[in-house]
Amino acid sequence: MHNYRMYIIAIGWLWVALMMTITAPNILSGASTLLFIGILPCALIIYLGGAKMRRQRREFRESLTNQRAGDDNRRNTQSDE
């Protein structure tokens, strides 16, 4: 189901980015380092990596909706008799 290795790599990358932030000479450069080297790339990679999972969930929901619609149609035709 989930790709837990992707999350472990993201946590490791955020740890490296945090250590780079701590060693920055001032707060502004540290914050920009954390944002542009740590948070934004990780968010992008996790979002793109989860695209397959989101597509599968959407297809599953659509199939359930189609099944329910088919069940409702069968019930309506049988109750007219």
Extents of the domains making up the chain: 1-49, 51-81
pLDDT of residue 12: 94
Assess contact for 30 and 21: CB atoms under 8 A.
Answer: yes
What does DSSP assign to residue 50?
Answer: T
Whether the per-residue pLDDT at 1 is higher than 70: the answer is no
Per-residue pLDDT tens digits for 27-77: 999 999 999 999 999 999 888 888 888 898 899 999 998 888 877 666 655
Two tokens at 77?
């035709």
**Number of alpha carbons in the 13 Å side-chain half-sphere of residue 52:** 5
Whether the per-residue pLDDT at 80 is higher than 60: the answer is no
**Cα(7)–Cα(48) distance, integer angstroms:** 13
pLDDT of residue 72: 67
